[in-house]
Amino acid sequence: MRAHKTSGFTLLEVLIAIALTAVVGTIAYSGLSSVLMSAEQTQAAMARSTELSRAMRIISRDFEYSVNRPIRDELGFDEPAMMGGDGFRGLVGLTRSGWPNGGLAPRGHLERVYYYLDDTTLYRMRSTALDRAYRLDPTAPLVAGDGAVALLTGVEAFEVVFLDEGQLATLPDRPSDGVLDTSRWRRDWGVAETPYQGLPVAVEIRLRLSDLGDLVRVYVPSV
């Protein structure tokens, strides 16, 4: 009787198969890891874009809806409708209109808004009581309290400059290079020894973000 020869893989073939499987697995894992990393980066970029868009929308609304409504302290002294700059306790404070009242509550449509920077987070603080029973020291730092909301993270610098009517006449109708020169705008408003009354003609906001660089916006108050 003839013996049947048993066929199979040699040791070399087995080792080659194992090596190929390992290589394919490594390539597949690397590809999956890249896809997952790319997805995470995309999600992070989208979240950052959403955060920035929301913050700029709120800032734009506040400045564009700012009104010439001073507020009063407990002694009846007026504080300017807008205060800000180098001598201010925060970055800027203003009175704005357009506070939504969908529930028809018995209140006005004005509110006081403050912005301040704590570490690298820009905060927005709002107060519904315009005429207060206490006086804020304009040189004391703002601290997070009721109504303070973290608006934007990763902020390395936040600067506000102001244009008054006297400076308006010195501006060219159309800048030759298309860039508005704001280097001579006022660095403070309403906090000097003789506060400026009313609202500035325009306000420039300068943001420096850790991941996106400089962002500049110019706003014109509604009134």
The answer to whether residue 143 sits within a structural domain is yes
- Per the CB < 8 A criterion, the answer to whether 134 and 71 are in contact is no
The answer to whether residue 83 sits within a structural domain is yes
pLDDT at 195: 58
The answer to whether residue 130 sits within a structural domain is yes
C-alpha triplet 148, 153, 155: angle, nearest 5°: 105
pLDDT at 23: 74
pLDDT at 171: 57
The pLDDT tens digits along the chain (223 residues) read 555 555 666 766 667 777 778 777 777 777 767 776 777 778 888 899 999 999 999 999 999 999 998 887 666 777 888 988 776 666 788 999 876 666 555 456 788 888 988 889 999 988 777 776 454 554 454 544 446 889 999 999 999 999 887 666 565 544 455 556 666 788 888 876 655 668 998 999 999 999 999 999 999 887 6
pLDDT at 104: 56
The answer to whether residue 24 sits within a structural domain is no
d(CA 15, CA 19): 6
Beta strands 111-118 and 92-96, pairing class: antiparallel
- For residue 71, give its domain range: 57-219
Give the SS3 label for residue 13: helix
The answer to whether residue 52 sits within a structural domain is no
pLDDT at 186: 85
89: domain CATH number? 3.10.610.10
pLDDT at 106: 47
The answer to whether residue 214 sits within a structural domain is yes
The answer to whether residue 151 sits within a structural domain is yes
The answer to whether residue 160 sits within a structural domain is yes
pLDDT at 216: 92
Q: What CA–CA distances, in Å, run from 11 to 7, 8, 14, 16, 18? A: 13, 10, 5, 9, 11
pLDDT at 127: 78
d(CA 139, CA 40): 43
- Per the CB < 8 A criterion, the answer to whether 152 and 55 are in contact is yes
Instruction: State how many domains the chain has.
Output: 1
Count CB atoms within 10 A of the CB of residue 160: 24
Q: Which two tokens stand for residue 77?
A: 């002294």
